[in-house]
Amino acid sequence: MFASLWYLLGRRLVGFSLLWWLLTNGSIDSWPAGLIMVPLAVLLSLTLRPPVPWRISLPAALAFIPFFLQQSIRGGIDVAGRAFSTPLPLDPALLEHPLSLPRGTARIFLLNTISLLPGTLSADLVEDRLVVHCLDTDALAADDLRRLEDRVAALFMLPIHRRRQ
């Protein structure tokens, strides 16, 4: 238990150090300030979000990146096309999606990904039900959401137990 806690703390320390190194362009002069700022950032992150274990599958991540880029491009083109059209091609609706992913990092990752994909926006999370705002009722994306959830589950190496509705 303690060993894993130290591991998780160490992970944040390494992560924020890397961030500092990148943001300061790898300059040595910045490290006196970094030695104060990095632990402060770790402390702040711990008060905002206690460390919970999570891991990522590298092959799934490599498969996820092109998928995500392609979907982001589609999402941007889709909404830009709507913004420039007259009359506005909008037929919005709310869609409820029962989440199968457990609480935690993977779920937050899913929420954020949904908001960047074409036509969908994570609007609320009530218990285990995600409320999604869709720009277009015709393209109501229940199947897409399930497929996306499967992808995120594979990314975080989580089993998915889908309840029958």
Partner 1 sequence: MDPRDILSIVFLLAAAPFFLAGTIGLLRFPDVFCRLHALTKADNLGLGLIVIALALQADTWLQSARLLLIWLLVMLSGATVAHLIARTALRAGRKPWSGRS
In the range 74-103, which residues lie near partner 1 by CB under 8 A?
75-80, 82-84, 88, 90-94
| Interatomic CA distance for residues 145 and 97, integer angstroms | 8
How far out from the chain centre does Cα 43 lie? 22
**Which burial class, exposed, middle or buried, applies to 156 when counting CB atoms under 10 A from its CB (0-12, 13-18, 19+)?**
buried
In the range 111-140, which residues lie near partner 1 by CB under 8 A?
111-113, 115-116, 118-119, 121-125, 131, 133, 135
* 75, containing H or E segment: helix 58-84
Nearest distance, CB of residue 107 and partner 1, angstroms? 12
Q: Omega before 87 cis (within 30°)?
A: yes
Question: Which residue lies nearer to partner 1 by CB, 94 or 157?
Answer: 94
Told to check if 35 binds partner 1 by CB under 8 A, we report: no
CB distance 145 to 114 below 8 Å: yes
Question: Which residue lies nearer to partner 1 by CB, 58 or 88?
Answer: 88
Q: Which residues bind partner 1 (CB under 8 A)?
A: 19, 22-23, 25-26, 72-73, 75-80, 82-84, 88, 90-94, 111-113, 115-116, 118-119, 121-125, 131, 133, 135
